[in-house]
Amino acid sequence: MKAVVYDRGGSPDFLECREVEKPTPRGNQVLVRIIAASVNAADYRSMRMGIIPKRKIFGADIAGRVAEVGASAIKLKIGDEVFGDISDSGFGGFSEYATVPENILALKPSSVSFENAAAVPMAAVTALQAMRDQGNIQAGQKVLVYGAGGGVGSFSVQLAKYFGAEVTTVCSSRNVDMVRLLGADHVIDYTKQDFIASGTQFDLIMAVNGNRPLPVYMRMLAPRGITVVIGGALSQVTKTILFGGLMSIGGKKIRILAAKPSTKDLEFIIKLVEEGKVKPVIDRRYNLQQTAEAMQYLGQGHACGKVIINVG
């Protein structure tokens, strides 16, 4: 099969599309013929940090068809259309086939395209868990999504509206129209206006890949508001881990999200996609041979929504 393999001795960007041995499913694993995958910050950040998958194949989000089943697989059958986040099982999505424990995959509705299904897992589940579990979002609240233009941000805007919040977003000029189309009530272009100047206080702040000092977020919180830090600059993540608890002694809270793959959350979100209540935003599409280029593009930090790899 073809796969994009990390090889420090290969091409200058260390990713090379080559022929490798097709894996065989064992136990409760299934072999998925991958139709589409999406690129996440987890892929390029892991590569930059030297955290390399065992098989040297990155790719967490996949969508495809079950081609074979292991001896003890009972949930899925050959031909089932599935999708999921396979980061906890060793990555491997940038390839034609991957073996995956069946319990981490969800069934893809026939009305949802493979591209849209591949765009969902990591970004949408991260947005959901940050908003629902860490942020305790409630209808009628004022929510700020800082960094609304990317994958997690675009899902955050739509999920916040689904939960009944009044949503303010912060993004660059190129993403303003897209964010408005997603349903944002107020859009702040950070190249033209400092969002701090609005003076508005928020019940929930989603700090997506941000780099603002933590006290800035705290000043913009309502008396019992919550800031959830999702990724971002290493300095911000480190400071949140070290000082978030100390800064949360009063009514205002600051938390950091460690999202976990969840089949239940996948099923919840894909139902919203099927019903048209949430729509994955796809910025660019690449083929498998162009995966290195796709990783470089996402790593620049300017993607508007998700970046898709069409494998099949």
d(CA 240, CA 214): 7
- Residue 33's DSSP bridge partners are 65, 97
**Prediction pTM value:** 0.93
Condensed to tens digits (0 to 9), the pLDDT of residues 20-61 reads 999 999 999 999 999 999 999 888 888 888 889 999 999 999
Does residue 197 sit in helix, strand or coil?
A: helix
Condensed to tens digits (0 to 9), the pLDDT of residues 128-154 reads 999 999 999 999 999 999 999 999 999
- 189 pLDDT more than 80: yes
d(CA 60, CA 76): 20
Upper half-sphere CA count for residue 8 (Cβ side, 13 Å)? 5
Domain with CATH 3.40.50.720 in the chain: 123-256
Residue 246 class from Cβ within 10 Å (0-12 exposed, 13-18 middle, 19+ buried)? exposed
- Kindly report the three-state secondary structure assignment for every residue of 118-181: HHCHHHHHHHHHHHHHHCCCCCCCEEEEECCCEHHHHHHHHHHHHCCCEEEEEECHHHHHHHHH
- 169 pLDDT more than 80: yes
Of residues 200 and 245, more confidence is placed in: 200
Give CATH superfamily name and number for 123-256. Answer: NAD(P)-binding Rossmann-like Domain (3.40.50.720)
Give CATH superfamily name and number for 2-120+280-310. Answer: Medium-chain alcohol dehydrogenases, catalytic domain (3.90.180.10)
Q: Beta strands of the chain (E only): which ranges?
A: 2-6, 15-19, 29-39, 61-69, 81-85, 97-101, 106-107, 142-146, 166-171, 186-189, 202-208, 221-230, 253-256, 282-287, 306-310
Lowest-confidence segment of 11-15, 21-25, 155-159, 303-307 by average pLDDT: 11-15
Tokens of 26: 């064992």
Condensed to tens digits (0 to 9), the pLDDT of residues 269-291 reads 999 999 999 999 999 999 999 99
Domain with CATH 3.90.180.10 in the chain: 2-120+280-310
Q: Is the dihedral of CA 130, 131, 136, 142 positive or negative?
A: positive
Of residues 253 and 198, more confidence is placed in: 253
d(CA 200, CA 168): 10
